[in-house]
């Protein structure tokens, strides 16, 4: 999944319902992509069976874990600052243990444990089931590390604990790892090769969430479109599968169908898609089922064929346009968002103009836009010089952001006067008299509370908008309640 830091979710400390029998306290924070937030729920579930309840008070924790991201330098710097804070608290509470989870753990294992001695345990994304053993090691006075990447682990048998949830929307992990070796990305090295989770366990988790009152799920993976279940094992080994395994395999379109039919009133989203793997049958499945949201996050990274090739993106500009055109033909009101990196090594003004012209063609609803920062361990770091000056990166990024603002406004204005279905998620940040939720296209909608409640599906007539938010009046419950 290519989406990087969602600034709104960056550094959330997570809390679950306490178990009366548990006596130890766990403080867990997550940084980075949605996958990390989903993984933290798995960790909390595993540790709740080991006597840990979560807490929001760092000072009272017996165990402090930070789930980390390596995708951007800023994320790593933020985590280092947090580790300094943890260690300041540790001086007051010497019994407290500190651990690093996730991608940064895998990448910097020896540095954290041996050189800097700032943590007690280091656990990679495939080793969370080993946490009870690792904690025992630490309690016996030894440093503990497990960053071994797995060919099988999907955590399909762990029922995640929903942390600090609104009780309305939840993440459901469907794949782990990634086989796409984009030259700017560290994920294949920190999360391993791609493998998919048993569709039956996914449907069971979705059914369980529906029974608990959840109204929306997001199917999560580094690259959901390459989901492929043929009985277990790595995606790359599918070529060696038996004929019966190949004939009965489930792809992503098949999984969408299973989930959509299992819970017809539950909204279904997914993230993240990859242009080279998204197939027409996925778009057709979205068009067929009303409960699959009309929204696709479709990272492009650059509009220049030359830069795309240098990034090892296995799609061209034209192939991306064909995909966008198919989406707009089959789902005319589909919301589309992007990831874009500007200032990749050797990027010229011509390449930059190609990116701007691609944006003009697509007119994205919103996006995640970044200036390139070299990530240790990636192919780009090993092979290319980071040769675009910082001031050029900043200027190009600003031009991309300005154009996106214009397109975002263009897209929100299209809703003026229309009625949209909104799932109420929370109180509006700006007014305690208003609810906030999202429509099918993933656009935030704000409207007066009246007698509606969190979790209701409400029809809202849009009367005003900003570039990011629709503002309207409720006109009644939708037929989805």
CATH number of the domain where residue 276 is located: 3.80.30.20
Q: Is 288 within the bounds of a domain? A: yes
Examine the fold and report which residue of 111, 146, 181 is the final residue of a domain before the chain moves on.
146
Q: Could you give the CA distance from residue 230 to residue 232 in angstroms, rounded to a whole number?
A: 6
- Asked whether residue 403 falls in the same domain as residue 423, the answer is no
Domain with 287, as residue range(s), is: 169-409
- Asked whether residue 142 falls in the same domain as residue 50, the answer is yes
Sign of CA dihedral 57, 59, 63, 68: positive
Q: Is 154 within the bounds of a domain? A: no
Q: Could you give the CA distance from residue 404 to residue 394 in angstroms, rounded to a whole number?
A: 15
103 assigned binding-site residue: yes
69 assigned binding-site residue: yes
- Asked whether residue 307 falls in the same domain as residue 179, the answer is yes
- Asked whether residue 385 falls in the same domain as residue 458, the answer is no
33 assigned binding-site residue: yes
CATH number of the domain where residue 473 is located: 2.40.50.140
If one counts the domains in the chain, the total is 3
Q: Is 298 within the bounds of a domain? A: yes
Q: Is 157 within the bounds of a domain? A: no
Question: Over its length of 481 residues, how does the chain's per-residue pLDDT go in tens digits?
Answer: 333 323 333 445 555 555 557 789 999 998 877 788 888 888 988 999 999 999 989 999 999 999 887 666 777 788 888 888 888 898 888 889 999 898 787 777 777 777 667 788 888 888 889 999 999 988 888 878 887 777 777 777 777 777 766 789 998 999 988 899 999 988 887 778 899 999 999 999 999 999 999 999 999 998 999 999 999 888 999 999 999 999 999 999 999 999 999 999 999 999 999 999 999 999 999 999 999 999 999 999 999 999 999 999 999 999 999 999 999 999 999 999 999 999 999 999 999 999 999 999 999 999 999 999 998 889 999 999 999 999 999 999 999 999 999 999 999 999 999 999 999 999 999 999 999 999 999 999 999 999 999 999 999 999 999 999 999 999 999 999 8
Examine the fold and report which residue of 357, 391, 409 is the final residue of a domain before the chain moves on.
409
334 assigned binding-site residue: no
- Asked whether residue 390 falls in the same domain as residue 422, the answer is no
Examine the fold and report which residue of 409, 443, 459 is the final residue of a domain before the chain moves on.
409
178 assigned binding-site residue: yes
Q: Is 156 within the bounds of a domain? A: no
**pTM (predicted TM-score):** 0.82
Phi and psi based region of residue 182 (left: phi greater than 0; alpha: psi -120 to 50; beta: remaining): beta
Q: Could you give the CA distance from residue 171 to residue 37 in angstroms, rounded to a whole number?
A: 8
142 neighbors 189 (Cβ within 8 angstroms) = no
């Amino acid at each position: 999944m290519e989406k990087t830091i969602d600034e709104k979710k960056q550094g959330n400390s997570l809390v679950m319902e306490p178990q009366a029998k548990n006596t130890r306290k766990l403080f867990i924070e997550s940084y980075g992509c949605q996958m990390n937030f989903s993984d933290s729920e798995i960790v909390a579930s595993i540790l709740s069976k080991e006597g840990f309840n979560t807490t929001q008070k760092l000072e009272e924790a017996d165990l402090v874990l930070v789930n980390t991201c390596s995708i951007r330098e800023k994320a790593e710097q933020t985590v280092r600052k947090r580790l300094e804070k943890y260690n300041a608290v540790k001086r007051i509470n010497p019994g407290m243990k500190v651990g690093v989870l996730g991608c940064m753990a895998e990448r910097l294992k020896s540095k954290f444990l041996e050189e800097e001695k700032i943590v007690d345990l280091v656990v990679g994304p495939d080793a969370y089931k080993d946490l009870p053993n690792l904690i025992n090691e630490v309690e016996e006075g030894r440093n503990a590390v497990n960053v071994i990447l797995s060919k099988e682990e999907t955590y399909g048998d762990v029922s995640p604990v929903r942390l600090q949830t609104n009780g309305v929307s939840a993440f459901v992990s469907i794949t782990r790892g990634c086989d796409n070796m984009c030259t700017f990305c560290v994920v294949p090295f920190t999360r391993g090769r791609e493998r998919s989770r048993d569709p039956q366990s996914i449907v069971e988790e979705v059914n369980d969430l529906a029974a608990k009152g959840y109204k929306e799920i997001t199917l999560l993976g580094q690259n959901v479109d390459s989901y492929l279940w043929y009985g277990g094992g790595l995606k790359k080994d599918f070529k060696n599968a038996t004929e019966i395994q190949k004939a009965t395999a489930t792809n992503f379109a098949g999984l969408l169908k299973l989930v959509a039919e299992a819970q017809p009133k539950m909204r279904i989203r997914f993230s993240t898609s990859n242009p080279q793997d998204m197939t027409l049958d996925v778009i057709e499945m979205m068009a067929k089922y009303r409960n699959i949201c009309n929204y696709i996050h479709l990272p492009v990274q650059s509009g220049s064929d030359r830069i795309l090739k240098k990034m090892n993106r296995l799609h061209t500009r034209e192939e991306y346009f064909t995909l966008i055109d198919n989406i707009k033909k089959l789902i005319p009101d589909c919301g589309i968002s992007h990831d874009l990196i500007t200032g990749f090594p050797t990027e010229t003004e011509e390449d930059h103009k190609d990116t701007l012209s691609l944006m003009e063609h697509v007119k994205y609803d919103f996006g995640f836009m970044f200036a390139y920062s070299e990530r240790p361990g990636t192919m780009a770091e090993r092979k290319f010089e980071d040769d675009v000056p910082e001031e050029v990166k900043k200027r190009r990024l600003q031009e991309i952001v300005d154009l996106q603002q214009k397109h975002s406004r263009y897209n929100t204005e299209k809703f003026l006067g229309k009625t949209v279905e909104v799932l109420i998620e929370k109180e509006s940040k700006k007014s305690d008299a208003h609810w906030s939720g999202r429509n099918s296209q993933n656009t935030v909608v704000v409207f007066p509370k009246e007698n509606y409640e969190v979790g209701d599906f409400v029809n809202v007539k849009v009367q005003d908008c900003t570039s990011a938010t629709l503002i309207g009046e409720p006109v009644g419950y939708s037929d989805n309640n």
